[in-house]
Amino acid sequence: MPRRQKLRYDGDDYTPKWVRYTGHLKEGYCDSCNPGKWLQLKNSAYWYHKQFYHGISSVSGKSFMKPLEQRMGKGDMIEGLCHQCRRFVPACNGKKKNNFMLWYRHAHKCHLYDKPKATSKSSRKLSVSHKGVA
């Protein structure tokens, strides 16, 4: 039976709002997909999917910054200028124009983010005390 899960803080786009099952079978619902889909949490399928298909950082809970500018690279490759390292890096294969997985992989390794604080101490205690239950 799916159940609502508290977000780490207001505006957290990474944490699944809905989860089901428990232990190694626990799944999180990706509401960024249309239609939404369930992905396993224990084997990092949800983590991988949110970061590299939707470009949402697990650290900040926000979308990765987009390239400052884009240019055509070798072949069909589109390159993006990174705000952090100031280099052009592969962002997208021209054959799959809306697939920015290469950019998201770079952003995950390179971009620095402040980790937001939990909404309140009481909600943090609640989530810690229920870890063994879920």
d(CA 84, CA 112): 8
Give the DSSP letter string of 96-118. Answer: STT--HHHHHHHHHH---PPPPP
From the list 60, 36, 65, 66, the residue with the least C-alpha distance to 49 is: 36
Q: Per-residue confidence at 117, pLDDT binned at 50, 70, 90?
A: confident
pLDDT at 45: 98
Q: Write down the pLDDT at residue 133.
A: 36
- pLDDT for res 103: 97
Question: pLDDT tens digits, residue range 60-114?
Answer: 999 999 999 999 999 889 999 999 999 999 999 877 666 899 999 999 999 987 7
Look at residue 7 and give its three-state secondary structure.
coil
Is 72:61 a contact under the CB 8 Å cutoff? Answer: no
